[in-house]
Chain A
Amino acid sequence: MKTSKKQFDDLFKEKLKTIQFEPSVAAQEALLKALKRNKINLVKKTWGKLSFVLILVSTLVYFQHQQEQHTDQAHYFQSQTRVDLFNTYPSSDFTRLFDLKQNNTQTQPSKPILAIVAQLQTNEQVTEKERWDPLQLTQKSIRPQLKSRTQQVAPPIQHVFEFEGAALIESKSSANQTLLCGQNKAQTKLIIAQSKIAKFSTDSVARDQESGVCRPVGFDENAVIQYTVFDKRSLFRRFQAENIHWGLVRTTKIAKPARNAEEEVAKPKAKTNKTATTTHTNAINPQANLHVHSTRQYVEPEYEEYSYNIKNDSLIFISDRVNFVVMMDAQGTILSKAQIEITEPYVYYLGEKRAYFDQSTGKVYICVATLYHFNFYELEPANGKTTYLFHLDDVWPNPEFQIENGKLSYIKNNISHQQLL
C-alpha cells in the first residue's frame, strides 16, 4: 500500500509528465548558432550534389574554351554561317566597309566576322561632343541627392528627473536641458543626469547608487536618463586636493603622532623582547638605538564649497572664493583644473570675488571688488585665465549683479542700470 507521501509524489510526477513541448524555429536557430559557436563540424550531405554541379560546369567551360580556340582558324562551316550574317547586314554601309578593309591591314577577307565587328565599331564611334554631352546630362539626372540625416535628439529632463522620488535642489541644466546637475534633498550628494537615446527597459526611479540608468514614468520610450551620483563633500575635497602644490607637501614635515597608552598595552610583549635581543643594539650608546623619525606635518586643505554650472556637455565648478575652476564631464572625468589668475590691470587690493554664469552665452564672468571699483573679467574655464572687461565707477556693499544675454544689470540707489559686457 502506498503511503501518502509516495502517492503524492507519484501523482505529481504523472501529472507533470503529461506536459508537452514543441521545438520552435527560434530554438532551432539558437541551437545551430550554438553549434557553430562551439565549432562542432557538421557533415552536410549537399556536397555530393555540389560536386556534380562543379564537374558539369567545368566540362562546359572546357568545351567553350575549345570552341574559342577553333574560331581563330576560319573553316568551311564557320565561313558559311558568317556569310549569311554578312548578307543580312545593311547594304548602304558596304562602301564604308570596303574603305575600312583597305585601310585596315589586320582585317582579312577570310575572316568576315572580324570585318563585321570592325564595321560595328566604326559605326559606334562617336565624336567627343557626342560622348560627353549626353553623359553630362545623364550624370546630372542620376547624381544622388544628399539626404539630410534625421538625428534623434535626446529629450529634455529638467522637469522630469527625480532622485529617490524628489526633485533636485539647486539644479542647473544645459541650454537644451538634456544635461542636469543638482543636489539631493539633504544636499549631501551631487547628481549629474543626462538623457540618452536608448530603447532598453530599465528602472523608473533613480536610486542612490554610484551610477545608473532610469526611465521615469511617462518619459520618452526611446530615451533613458543616465545618472552619476557623487558624494558632494568628497568630490569637492578631490578638487581641493588636486590643487595642492606637491612641492609644498614635500617640504612640509609631518609630525609623528604621539602613541597612546592604550596602544602600548595592546602591543604584544613578545615583540618587545624580540627587539631587546637583536644583535644590532648598541650597548655603549643607548641613544643610537632609537630610530628617530623626521618630524613631518600634513596640513589638510580647508574645505571649500563649489558652485556649478553647465556649458555644452561639461560642468564648470568654481570654488566659493573664486580661486579655482574645474571642468568635469558628466561621468566624473576631470577635463581641466586651474587656478583663477587675475593679473591685469594691476590692482593693489583685491576684495571679494564673485562668479556669474551667463546661461544664454555660456560665458563665465568674474566681478572683483577693489578699493574704488567693481572690476569685471571674463573667465576662460579651461585654463583659469581672465580677460579684463571694464570697471564700475563705484564700489558699494552687497551689490546684486545679474548677467543675462551678455548684459549686466544691477540696482544702485534705487536706480536700475544695464551695461553690455
Chain B
Amino acid sequence: MRNPIYLKLSKEDILRIQQQDERFLLKLYNDSFPLMMSVAVRYKNNREEQLTAVHNSFLKMLRSIHQFHLNSSFEAWILRILRNELIDEFRRTNKQSNIKFTELNHDIATEQFNFELLENAEPTQLLHFLNELPPASKIVFNLYAIDEFSIKQISEALGISIETVKWHLKTSRKTLRARISTLKPQANENE
C-alpha cells in the first residue's frame, strides 16, 4: 500500500509564496496538487470540474496567503480552503429541491457485509462507487467518513437538517456496501 500524501514546506518556502514568487508558486502547485486532487476526485466526477475546483481553491489561497500564520499547518489550511470551495459550490448548484429521498432496495444487511472485499478492493474501484452516489449523499459521506466532519457541522455547512444528514449517511453506506458486495472475492493463493 502506498503512503498517504503529506505536504512538506519550510517556513522560508511559505514566505517566498507570500511574496508571490512565480517559481515557488509552481513548486507549491506541484507539491500540493496530489493532495488537493485526492480530495477533489472524491467530490467531483468530471476531470474538468476537479481541476477547476483545485485551481479555484489555489487562487483563493494565493489571494489570502498573507492571512496564513506560519505556526499553523499549511496542509490543513489548503484543504480547508478546498473543502469550503467544494461545499460552497454544492450549495450554489444543488438546492434543497435537488436532494431526492429515493428508497434504495438493497438486500445487503450490515451484518452480512464482508470486510475482506473492502480490504482487497482497488482504490480506483471504490472511487468509482463513491462517484456513483447521488451528489448530496456523496458530499455528506465524504465530509463525515473521510474528512471527519461531525454531523452537526455537515448540517450547518450544507444547510440541511441533522436527520437528513443521517439519512444520507445511512443511504450512502448501504449503497456502497451493496456495490462492494458485487465485487468478486480474490482467490486464495494457496488453493
Contact = CB atoms under 8 A, between A and B. Distances in A.
A41 B41 CA distance: 29
Nearest to B16: A43
A5 B172 CA distance: 11
Interface string B152-176: 0000000000000000000001001
Contact of A43 (B5, B22, B118, B123): B22
B190 to A, nearest CB: 24
A50 to B, nearest CB: 14
Interface in B82-122: 110-111, 113, 115, 118-119, 121
B22 to A, nearest CB: 4
Interface in A1-37: 4-5, 7-9, 11-13, 15-23, 27-28, 30-31, 34-35
B185 to A, nearest CB: 16
B145 A21 contact: no
Nearest to A20: B34
Given A9-B144, A9-B145, A40-B59, A18 B4 contact: yes
A44 interface: yes
A19 B29 contact: no
Contacts of B119: 11
Contacts of B110: 4-5
A43 B21 CA distance: 5
Nearest to A3: B110
Contact of B1 (A18, A34, A42): A18
B59 A34 contact: yes
- Per DSSP, chain A at the interface is helix
Nearest to A23: B33
A183 B53 CA distance: 46
B55 A12 contact: no
Interface in A339-372: none
B115 A11 contact: yes
Contacts of B55: 30-31, 34
Interface in B17-33: 19-23, 25-26, 29-30, 33
B42 interface: yes
Contacts of A34: 55, 59
Nearest to B50: A21
A40 B62 contact: yes
Contacts of B22: 42-45
B76 interface: no
B177 interface: yes
A368 B143 CA distance: 80
Interface string B52-84: 001100110011000000000000000000000
B146 to A, nearest CB: 5
Contacts of B115: 7-8, 11
A333 B106 CA distance: 55
Nearest to A19: B123
14 contacts: A5-B110, A8-B113, A12-B118, A15-B121, A15-B123, A16-B123, A17-B5, A18-B1, A21-B33, A21-B34, A22-B34, A23-B34, A30-B51, A40-B20
Given A8-B115, A11-B115, 15 more contacts: A4-B110, A5-B110, A8-B145, A12-B176, A15-B118, A19-B38, A21-B34, A22-B34, A23-B30, A23-B33, A28-B26, A31-B29, A40-B59, A42-B22, A43-B19
Interface of A: 4-5, 7-9, 11-13, 15-23, 27-28, 30-31, 34-35, 38, 40-45
